[in-house]
Amino acid sequence: MTDLGIQAKADDLKPEQAPVKDRNQWWDVWDQFRSHKGAMAGLIFLTFITLFCAFGPMVWDVDPGKLDIRNKDVRPIYVAIWDVDAKTSWARPMGTDHLGRDIMANIMQGGRISLAVGWTAMVLAILIGTLVGVLSGYFKRLDWGLMRFTDLVLSLPILPLLLVMMLLFRDPLRAAFGPETGIFMLIVAGIGITSWMQTARIVRGDVMALKEREFVLAARSIGTPPRRMITRHILPNVLSPIMVSATLGLATAIITESALSFLGLGFPSDFPTWGKILFDSVDRMTAFPERVLWPGLAISLTVLAVNYIGDGLRDALDPRIRGL
Amino acid sequence: MNLKTALMGAVATVALGQMAYADAHEGDRGRDGEVKVIYWQAPSILNPFLSGGTKDIEAASLMIEPLARYDSSGALTPWLVEEVPTVANGGVSEDLTSITWKITSGILWSDGTPFTSADVKFTYEYCTDPESGCAQLTKFEGVTSVETPDDLTVVVNFDGPTPFPYGPFVGGESPILQAAQFADCMGAKAPECTDENFGPIGTGPFVVTDFRTNDVIQLVANENYREAGKPAFASMTFKGGGDATAAGRSVMETGEFDYAWNLQLAPDVIASMEAGGMGTPVAGFGPLMERIMLNQTNPDPSLSDEERSVIRPHPFLGDPAVYKAMSMAIDRPLLVEVGYGQAGKVTCNWIPAPEAVNSDTFTCDTQDIAGANAMLDAAGYMDTDGDGVREANGVPMQILYQTSTNAVRQDFQALIKEWWSEIGIEAELRNIDASVFFGGDPGSPDTFQKFYADVEMYANTFNGTDPQAYLGNGLCDNAPSPATQWQGENISRFCSEEYDALYAQLTTTADADERAAISRQLNDIMVEEGGMIPLVHRGRLSAHATSLGGVDLNVWDSELWNAADWYRTGDNR
């Protein structure tokens, strides 16, 4: 940090030297991020699991819903290491369930759904949260109303809310978009609209502090309209808390979806998600531990990875820690 | 020192042995402390007249009792009366139009007031009130009046010769309510009487002290119970909810509970639980049958509540070629193997037990996908747009297939969906929490009575050995509709004039063999004309702790029928 400072001063002292190539500030962020080992590990894992789920089914071309009752209860291939007599097969490297469905294909397909729900719900929550936070922080007149609305939504319990939403909107959505997309939208909307409040609160606080800073006053004094003020001066400066809460939001959304599936709500039973695979395997947990281990590991490692990335991003985006 | 310890141990062993020996399950009431029962479907009401759910009826059977009930062998047993009336003992009139019950004297309600014939008469009036939407109305079919010549005599009059007069006030579905308690709850007010419906005063071995709907019931022994020294338990905790796996584990593996009801679990799962050593599974075959109900009406969500699943015929499920092909595509022996093992048998019949009523008209134990495809082809259902799904008059044959949330049922759904897809019928699966699905709440769209789906799968059974009341579920006017607050037992909205006429004939036939023959014919009509697709004849599998004695699994009545006789065995007391 000090080295860099001295170097910078030294550069100033040598005007005859060729001008230093403009360095994008995101490179600094990346450098700082790279120094956070947990965050890097998290990023690598998240990339891996995303690629695994997104492109895995193209390589591993097995229909996850295909029943093959003759090849049921196949153990994962590694069981053969300590138990030669176990029913294993290279064609089913992670084994099959009690109806002969391939577990690896199910984990991939389930991951697609779980991750898609997580990402979409997170984006939705961040959009709403940022909008509400900026509006209520910047415009005093809206503040009271919006914050009381936030309190109201904060007090909504998600499970009963989702049950009511299912009751009211399931049939119309199913008619309009088909069963899977309909339920997907319902769950994403349910998770999204119940998890934007923390973001809104954080953003509001930051916006209120920023509003009193000199550069904002200066911008205002030259007549910048509020729309431009927000997009040019306020939003770039609250980006770091938004990104951090986005990563946390992704983790929460995946967990909530898993919890819903685990409770037997949410997606239909032939529609695998990580939570659902876990739910279906609990009965035979003692005999076939791998069936809960894999989806369970996938959920917890993804969430852990995302949390580490959030942690790393927070450090990387804070100029005081970055030392610039 | 060592000698002393050894001697003390010997003395203790002898003493323990004597204690175990002396444990002749007799003694003071409440001597065995607490018993814990778990039903993974939580009771939502304790008034069986307002709920068709087995869980509610069985929980209520701890408090309120019928005049006579069936024992574990299926025989009719006097319960609150001195004997079962028959023509031979003069209790049933020669012309078969009335039956006279003699109540045992000295029976008290749990609040200490005497149990009289007026209560029995009141129960009849309560259930038959046209505005009450009574779930057990079929039990009172054909009853014109209930007379009470004196406090201990009840005369039930029928509108015609009734050869099987043991419908009203017999079995767990038709218990007696206390007139004093329910007097203000008649008709449309019935569902509003929360305190009464959640804690009926009864003659049974237990009394409710706390009822949390869809959760837990706390009960204590009834101080006014008619038999001295019973029940052996001073209190009962009746836990509801969770799932069958957890219930089975809590009895057989961890020993937290003493009795778990209806463990519909895969056979390998049961076996692994039994290895836990804390409990034993018990099985019995009654008329319980897992079936797929075929909706005769159109469940299209764009229709209004008044029309949906009420009036309009289904676009294609009514065609014999369709439902027969759907039935042929199912590999029933595989379903039994996957789902029930020892506790299941292949069946093609609605009424698979008792044996005399089990029809042998159909065979269905081999899967025939090719035959099913040929049948659909011949009937003109072709896949015109090449997407693998046949069309019926331009509409793709897609059906919504719903059931309750339960591991075995979800496995069945997955298997059957696959077989149906092989004959060009696409099924969309839906599973609903069992407490909601069987809850009968008229406000929920997801109950099995509303049947807002094309097909649904569940099991049903009847109490007792005579199927007449159960066969009444197939009558046209028993279909649930908004007018009856969605109560009614004709779930598939089956309606056949031939069936109704034959049923009327059954109600006037006295000879047992002839009754069985008509019952078999009714069964055949229901299956042949597509009211349902029978899948598996299920035994009921429950589990009790090894330390719980006196359990006598009854498939003909409430499982808790003899809870008064339960006791703690051995040195676990």
pLDDT in tens, B409-465: 988 999 999 999 999 999 988 888 888 888 878 888 888 988 989 999 999 888 667
Instruction: Look at A254-263, B319-328, B332-341, B534-543 and tell me which has the smallest mean pLDDT.
Output: A254-263
Residue of A nearest to B242 (CA): A263
Highest mean pLDDT among A70-74, B175-179, B263-267: B175-179
Choose from A73, A168, A279, A283 for mutation: most chain B CBs within 10 A: A283
pLDDT of A18 above 70: no
Quick one: pLDDT band at residue B536, thresholds 50, 70, 90? very high
Each residue's pLDDT tens digit, B490-535: 998 999 999 999 999 988 777 777 888 999 999 999 999 999 999 9
Q: Which residues of B touch A261 (CB under 8 A)?
A: none
Q: What are phi and psi of B276, to 5 degrees?
A: -65, -25
Report which secondary-structure segment, H or E, holds B196: helix B194-198
Query: Average pLDDT, stretch B393-407?
Result: 88
Beta-carbon separation of A98 and B410 below 8 A: no
pLDDT of A309 above 70: yes
Res B2: pLDDT: 55
Among A residues 280-299, those touching chain B with beta carbons less than 8 Å apart: 280, 282-284, 286-287
Q: Average model confidence (pLDDT) for chain B?
A: 87
Res A19: pLDDT: 57
Instruction: Look at B209-213, B484-488, B514-518 and tell me which has the smallest mean pLDDT.
Output: B484-488
Each residue's pLDDT tens digit, B126-163: 999 888 788 888 888 889 999 999 999 999 999 988 88
Residue of B nearest to A173 (CA): B301
Query: Average pLDDT, stretch B313-326?
Result: 91
pLDDT of A10 above 50: no
Query: Average pLDDT, stretch B185-198?
Result: 87
Distance CA B208, CA B236 (A): 9
Beta-sheet pairing, B426-432 with B216-221: unpaired
Res B14: pLDDT: 44
Each residue's pLDDT tens digit, B292-303: 999 999 888 888
Percent of chain A scoring above 90 in pLDDT: 21
pLDDT of A17 above 60: no
Burial class from Cβ neighbours inside 10 Å (0-12, 13-18, 19+) for residue B395 reads: exposed
Torsion A282-A283-A286-A291 (CA) sign: negative
pLDDT of A21 above 70: no
Give residue ranges of B with CB < 8 Å to any A CB: 245, 265-266, 268-269, 272, 301-302, 334, 338, 405, 407, 410-411, 413-415, 417-418, 428-431, 433, 444-446, 452
Tokens 């998290």, residue? A42
Res A5: pLDDT: 47
pLDDT of A8 above 50: no
Query: Average pLDDT, stretch A291-319?
Result: 86
DSSP secondary structure string for all residues of B88-139? TTTSB-TTSSEEEEEBPTT-B-TTSPBP-HHHHHHHHHHHH-TTT--TTGGG
Exposed e or buried b for every residue in B316-335, given b needs 16+ CB within 10 A? bbebebbbbbbbbbbbbeeb
Each residue's pLDDT tens digit, A122-162: 999 999 999 999 999 999 899 999 999 999 998 888 778 87
By the 8 A CB rule, do B372 and B405 touch? no
Choose from B405, B422, B426 for mutation: most chain A CBs within 10 A: B405
Q: Which residues of B touch A283 (CB under 8 A)?
A: 245, 265-266, 269, 407
pLDDT of B59 above 70: yes
Query: Average pLDDT, stretch B544-573?
Result: 84
Q: Which residues of B touch A268 (CB under 8 A)?
A: 428-431
pLDDT of B564 above 80: yes
Res B8: pLDDT: 52
Quick one: pLDDT band at residue B6, thresholds 50, 70, 90? low
Beta-carbon separation of A270 and B444 below 8 A: no
Each residue's pLDDT tens digit, A182-207: 888 888 888 888 889 989 999 999 99
pLDDT of A105 above 80: yes
Instruction: Look at A14-28, B210-224, B414-428 and tell me which has the smallest mean pLDDT.
Output: A14-28
Res A20: pLDDT: 60
End-to-end CA distance of chain A: 8
Per-residue tokens: B363: 């065979």
Distance CA B454, CA B475 (A): 20
Give the residue among B412, B461, B372, B419 at the shortest CA–CA distance from B54. Answer: B461
By the 8 A CB rule, do B22 and B573 touch? no
Res B270: pLDDT: 87
Distance CA B463, CA B469 (A): 9
- The C-alpha of A99 sits at a distance from chain B's nearest C-alpha, in angstroms, of 7
Distance CA B474, CA B440 (A): 19
Torsion B414-B416-B420-B426 (CA) sign: negative
Percent of chain A scoring above 70 in pLDDT: 91
Res A2: pLDDT: 45
Beta-carbon separation of B269 and A69 below 8 A: no
Quick one: pLDDT band at residue B17, thresholds 50, 70, 90? very low
Q: Average model confidence (pLDDT) for chain A?
A: 83
Res B15: pLDDT: 44
Choose from B430, B433, B456, B457 for mutation: most chain A CBs within 10 A: B430
Res B5: pLDDT: 54
Highest mean pLDDT among A71-80, A306-315, B99-108, B382-391: B99-108
Beta-carbon separation of B433 and A282 below 8 A: no
Percent of chain B scoring above 70 in pLDDT: 95
